[in-house]
Amino acid sequence: MVCIKLDYSNVGNFYLLKNSHGLIIKNGIATMSGGIFIEDKVVDYVEVNINNNNKEKFFYKDGETEEFELSLGAGGIKESDMRVCN
């Protein structure tokens, strides 16, 4: 589970939890599944669905960036797990 304090969001509150998708935005905090941990890739900043582009873009501490199709994969999380950040 990842909790991200948002600098900006174009929605106040958002809730999506299905078998293969999970994202909650509440009180300026986004909660989503954490994906895969890679020790030498520390994420500094994330953009999700900017201008409805259906992309996730990760900016790493080392200056590298990666862009993926929007997935928001739930990774087996349960609804109760999604309350961890708020």
Residue 16's pLDDT is 80
CB 33 within 8 A of CB 74: yes
Neighbours of 58 (CB within 10 A): 17
The pair of structure tokens assigned to 66 is 């990666």
Per-residue pLDDT of the chain (86 residues; tens, 9 = 90+): 678 889 888 888 988 877 656 788 998 898 876 655 566 777 788 888 889 898 888 888 899 998 988 776 655 667 777 777 87
Residue 63's pLDDT is 92
pLDDT tens per residue, range 27-39 = 889 887 665 556 6
Sole residue written with tokens 């020790």: 39
CB 23 within 8 A of CB 85: no
Full-model pTM: 0.55
| CA–CA separation, 59 and 43 (whole Å) | 6
